[in-house]
Amino acid sequence: MRFSAILVAAGSSSRMGTGKSKVLEYIDNKTVIRYTLEAFEKTVSVNSVTVVCRPEDMELLRLESSGLKKPVNFVTGGKTRQQSVLRGIEAMPDCDYCVIHDGARPLITPLLIDRVCSDAILHGASAAAVPSKDTCKIVDAEGFVKQTPERSALMAVQTPQVFQLALYKLALSDAVRAGMDFTDDCQLIENTGRPVHLITGDYRNIKLTTPEDFIIARALLAEKKERTSMRIGQGYDVHRLAEGRKLILCGVEISFEKGLAGHSDADVAAHALSDALLGAAALGDIGKLFPDTDTAYKGADSMKLLEEVCRRVRACGYEIGNVDITIVAQQPKLAPYIGDMRKGIAAACHIEAGQVSVKATTEEGLGVSGQGQGIAAHAVCLLTTMN
Ligand code: MG
């Protein structure tokens, strides 16, 4: 199933009273839209994002999407929310489901986005919502109460709202034909008589509308930082040096008269790092995951195994903060290879080279590495939770 997101950010932000688009306001060191984009970057379901915005904000918004791996494109919005979403639908890449989200809900979590996406597969139309904490009143134009709906039946609907694309397009053309313009995307589907399912959202997933919402968002983000848990891992490996083998360290072939012996390519540094990552996530070790009794791993590219380790670590909800490797070898000189090693590790782990450190040292002629019998590697890493 292909899910493509539409971030609605074309409003005038008039209730903010600053004249500036609220999605370009900063909360601590990041803009509102950057928080939102980063949440979508980390979802498992969503493949691409289309931001619907005012023409005057497009260039600044484009800068906010730099460095993200998932494609982000931009399109100018219409006069109303419904018209803006329509522009987004027309501009988005081919997909099965559209994921509509307010650009001004920066506290959305990747997990909630993925949960609504899964629910939409079951029901065709799904949205996040929370039970109303306030009793709500229906009033007339003069402010007199006409009716009080039963609070226990009231849900405050949030975004994301996820729809089967064909269903949404049909509902949209129905509304356009009938001259109706809705402020909420679920209403479009309701208007066709089709069911819309709600799942429990998150009270933290607030929509920034008025200036005091920024005070609340700042407090929630500070609290979230405190909640973010970190896990540390360490790994160690050593392999014997042997004639007639290639020397591969961090995926880089090093020119040397000997290489490391082993069942796989014997990349001792990639092994130490894999064990550090598995250790941090308490997922065992590479010996258990890729046993040397299994012929499938004979001569295996250890960087491919490292990539698989990273995939498993992410599947448990962790993100990689940084990794640090120390290779212990008397010979050869590794300094000329360090840059390529860092790039290779970064690519295999899907992180930036700035998050990767590779160092080399000798043991002053002492012990296994010092006497040239083998090469050892130590690695540490830090994992953070994704939410
Ligand atoms: Mg090994």
Output the CA 295–ligand 1 centroid distance in Å: 15
What was the pLDDT predicted at 387? 55
CA distances from 17 to 13, 32, 218 (A): 7, 16, 19
| 315 Cα: distance to centroid of ligand 1 (angstroms) | 24
The CA 309 to ligand 1 mean position distance, Å, reads 14
Q: What is the pLDDT of residue 309?
A: 96
Give residue 287 CA to ligand 1 midpoint distance, Å: 8
Burial string for 117-137 (b: 16+ CB within 10 Å, else e) reads bebbeebbbbbbbbeeeeeee
Supply the pLDDT for residue 18: 77
Distance 350 CA to ligand 1 centre (A): 22
Q: For residue 184, what pLDDT is reported?
A: 94
Condensed to tens digits (0 to 9), the pLDDT of residues 327-382 reads 999 999 999 999 999 999 999 999 999 999 999 999 999 998 999 999 999 999 99
- In this predicted structure, the answer to whether residue 316 has a pLDDT above a threshold of 90 is no
137, pLDDT greater than 90: yes
Residue partners of 108: CB distance under 8 A and separation at least 6: 36, 39, 101, 159, 160, 202, 205
The rounded Å distance from CA 347 to ligand 1 centre is 20
The fraction of the chain above a pLDDT of 90, given in percent, is: 87
| The pLDDT of residue 380 | 98
Residue 43 reports pLDDT greater than 80: yes
Which residues have C-beta within 8 Å of that of residue 319, sequence separation ≥ 6?
42, 383, 384, 385, 386
**Cα(174) to centroid of ligand 1, in Å?**
62
Q: Looking at this protein, which amino acid is placed at residue 221?
A: L
- Per the prediction, the chain carries an average pLDDT of 94
- Residue-wise pLDDT tens digits, 268-310: 999 999 999 999 999 999 999 998 888 888 888 999 999 999 9
Ligand 1 centroid from CA 296, angstroms: 16
Distance from Cα 336 to the centre of ligand 1, integer Å: 23
Ligand 1 center from residue 352 Cα (angstroms):
25
Positions of E strands within the chain: 3-9, 26-27, 30-31, 46-53, 72-76, 97-102, 125-131, 138-139, 145-147, 155-164, 197-200, 230-243, 247-249, 252-254, 258-260, 318-328, 356-361, 374-385
Give distance in angstroms: CA of 45 to centre of ligand 1. 34
Residue type at 6? I
Q: How far, in Å, is the centroid of ligand 1 from the Cα of 237?
A: 5
Neighbours of 79 (CB within 10 A): 9
Question: What is the whole-number distance in angstroms between the Cα of residue 135 and the centre of ligand 1?
Answer: 63
Integer Cα distance of 40 and 70 in angstroms: 9
Centre of ligand 1 from the C-alpha of residue 270, in Å: 8
How many percent of the chain have pLDDT more than 70? 99
pLDDT per position as a tens digit, 79-98: 999 999 999 999 999 999 99
Confidence check: pLDDT of 386 > 70 = no
